[in-house]
């Protein structure tokens, strides 16, 4: 299997894993991955993940021109391409509608970094990007600026976007963010959150960029 085919296969498997783990439902969410030639493969618009095959995927250039594929690309392609254009160390982008993370998105509350592994694998608190219309270039630009030093950003009144050096890393971040969002939601019912010591944050924060660039 050549590298391009392997990346396409990984995208399909990751999409189905998102569905199995409840990070998306139905045809919601979308994925993209950078190819060795610099172009981008992404999920098509409105197709059931369980039925999706590599032949359904769409290849576009970084400006969004369709180079290969019979189906239209996701309507949120601008979101993916803005992140990939802005950050050379990003190879995979996942937009999901994870339930607990989206609870934070619709209340415009960031997900705080109060667990050590969150600092290591996400890079710190997950911010909330300003609301912009779904599918717009403005949303892509707004979201892209937040993932320079973070693996995740919440899109106001929308959902979660995660990035990584590849799709596997972006999926790991999405899973960790959703799990942490649920923990924090429950912990706040018990009492105020206790922050990590600043020296711990300072120690672990640089590890995220190292892992993303490896």
Q: Domain count of the chain?
A: 1
Q: Which two tokens stand for residue 86?
A: 């802005």
Residue-level pLDDT, tens digit, the chain, 214 residues: 599 999 999 999 999 999 999 999 988 999 999 999 999 999 999 999 999 999 999 999 999 999 999 999 999 999 999 999 999 999 999 999 999 999 999 999 999 999 999 999 999 999 999 999 999 999 999 999 999 999 999 999 999 999 999 999 999 999 999 999 999 999 999 999 999 999 999 999 899 989 988 7
CA Rg value for the chain: 17
Q: Give which of 64, 84, 89, 82 is closest to 74, Cα–Cα.
A: 64
Burial of 20 by CB count in 10 Å (0-12 exposed, 13-18 middle, 19+ buried)?
A: exposed
Helix axes 137-144, 77-86, angle to 10 degrees: 40
The pLDDT score that the predictor gives to residue 109 is: 98
The pLDDT score that the predictor gives to residue 50 is: 93
The pLDDT score that the predictor gives to residue 212 is: 87
The pLDDT score that the predictor gives to residue 104 is: 98
Q: What residue numbers bound the domain in which 28 lies? A: 3-213
> pTM value?
0.96
- CATH code of residue 190: 3.40.225.10
CA angle 147, 118, 33 (to 5 degrees): 40
The pLDDT score that the predictor gives to residue 1 is: 59
């Amino acid at each position: 299997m050549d590298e391009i085919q392997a990346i396409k296969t990984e995208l399909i498997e990751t999409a189905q894993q998102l569905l199995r783990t409840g990070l998306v439902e139905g045809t919601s969410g979308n994925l993209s991955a950078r190819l060795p030639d610099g172009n981008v493969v992404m999920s098509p618009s409105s197709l059931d993940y369980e039925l999706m095959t590599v032949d359904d995927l769409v290849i576009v250039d970084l400006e969004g021109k369709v180079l290969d594929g019979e189906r239209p690309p996701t309507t949120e392609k601008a979101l993916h391409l803005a992140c990939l254009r802005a950050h050379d160390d990003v190879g995979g982008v996942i937009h999901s509608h994870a339930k607990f993370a989206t609870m934070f998105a619709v209340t415009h509350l960031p997900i705080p970094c109060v667990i050590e592994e969150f600092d290591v694998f996400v890079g710190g608190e997950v911010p909330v990007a300003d609301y912009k219309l779904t599918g717009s270039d403005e949303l892509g630009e707004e979201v892209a600026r937040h993932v320079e030093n973070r693996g995740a950003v919440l899109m106001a009144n929308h959902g979660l976007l995660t990035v990584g050096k590849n799709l596997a890393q972006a999926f790991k971040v999405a899973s960790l963010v959703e799990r942490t969002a649920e923990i924090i939601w429950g912990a706040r019912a018990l009492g105020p959150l206790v922050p990590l010591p600043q020296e711990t944050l300072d120690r672990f924060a640089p590890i995220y960029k190292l892992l993303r660039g490896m």
